[in-house]
């Protein structure tokens, strides 16, 4: 089982202690094989924020953890602190028949995203020979998300990166950034955006949420969990070709 959370903004004025307790409690009840966090764990990338964010993530009881930075985390040279606390900004974790490769899509002190050719090569080298379920995680959304206003901040090279992912045969892309959950199917690839898991920075009637993904060798079952009520909503059930 894989749990996907994003945009927790631990030090933001919008951060909700109640929601965070719900999310931590539910994830720890599930004890997933892997917890994937797609960025914006801080609000401005300051040292004290990173300490609080690390303390928050340390509460989760998951077998493995993958974290990539968000645009808020890369502010004020926060990307340096990220590497000191979490290691590489391009993590790779293999859990059974699933391999997750993380990508840093941020630019220092900019909200806009950019993936870059270095990341293309990293993803290719990590996944092209992997015979199981191939997953890529990054902060910025690669495809527009409905209900989020005028489009901005999509990585400037998202088209080229999507082509790389499609050619490799990536099954699943996990993103965050917009605080609105959504799912797109592009060719044979699913792109799942997470909402904000623990803040009240919400659009219209969009609840705070996180995702649960149960992945076998041939089947992906994705669910969205309301962080307030812990009610689950089906996202998709997909037969995988590996």
Q: For 172-206, what is each residue's pLDDT tens digit?
A: 999 999 999 999 999 989 999 999 999 999 999 99
Strands 34-38 and 64-68: parallel
Q: Residue 76: give the domain boundaries.
A: 2-239
Give the number of domains in the chain. Answer: 1
| CATH code for position 178 | 3.60.21.10
Judged on CB neighbours under 10 Å (0-12, 13-18, 19+), 7 is buried
Mean pLDDT, residues 3-23 taken together: 97
Q: What is residue 190's predicted lDDT score, i.e. its pLDDT?
A: 96
CA atoms of 148 and 203, how far apart (whole Å): 8
Q: Which of 167, 191, 163, 157 is nearest to 177 (CA)?
A: 191
Q: Residue 229 contacts by C-beta under 8 Å, 6 or more apart in sequence?
A: 207
Q: What is residue 2's predicted lDDT score, i.e. its pLDDT?
A: 97
- pLDDT tens, 56-108? 999 999 999 999 999 999 999 999 999 999 999 999 999 999 999 999 999 99
Torsion of CA 42, 14, 32, 52, to 10 degrees: 40
DSSP characters over 159-228: HHHHHHHHHHT--EEEE-SSS--EEEEETTEEEEE---SSBS---TTPPPEEEEEEE-SSEEEEEEEETT
Kindly calculate the radius of gyration of the chain based on its CA atoms and give it in whole angstroms: 16
Confidence category of residue 152, pLDDT binned at 50, 70, 90: confident
Mean pLDDT, residues 202-223 taken together: 94
C-alpha to C-alpha distances, 99 to 9, 10, 11, 39, 40, nearest whole angstrom: 26, 27, 31, 19, 22
Taken in order 74, 78, 80, 82, is the CA torsion positive or negative?
Answer: negative
């Amino acid at each position: 089982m894989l749990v996907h959370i994003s945009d927790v903004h631990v030090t933001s004025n919008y951060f909700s202690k109640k929601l965070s307790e719900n999310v931590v409690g539910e994830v720890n009840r599930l004890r997933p094989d892997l917890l994937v966090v797609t960025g914006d764990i801080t609000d401005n990338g300051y040292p004290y924020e990173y300490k609080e964010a690390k303390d928050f993530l340390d509460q989760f009881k998951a077998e493995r953890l993958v974290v990539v930075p968000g645009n808020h985390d890369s502010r004020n040279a926060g990307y340096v602190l990220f590497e000191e606390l979490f290691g590489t900004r391009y993590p790779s974790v293999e859990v059974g028949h699933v391999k997750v490769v993380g990508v840093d899509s941020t630019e220092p002190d900019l909200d806009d995203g950019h993936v870059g050719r270095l990341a293309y090569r990293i993803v290719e080298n990590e996944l092209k020979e992997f015979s199981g379920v191939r997953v890529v995680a990054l902060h910025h959304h690669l495809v527009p998300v409905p209900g989020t206003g005028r489009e901005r901040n999509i990585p400037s090279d998202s088209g080229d990166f999507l082509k790389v992912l499609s050619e490799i045969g990536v099954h699943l892309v996990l993103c965050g950034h917009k605080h609105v959950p959504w799912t797109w199917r592009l060719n044979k690839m699913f792109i799942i955006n997470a909402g904000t898991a623990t803040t009240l920075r919400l659009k219209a009637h969009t609840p705070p949420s996180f995702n649960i993904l149960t992945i076998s060798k041939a089947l992906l079952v994705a669910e969205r969990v309301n962080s307030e009520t812990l009610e689950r909503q089906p996202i998709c059930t997909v037969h995988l070709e590996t």
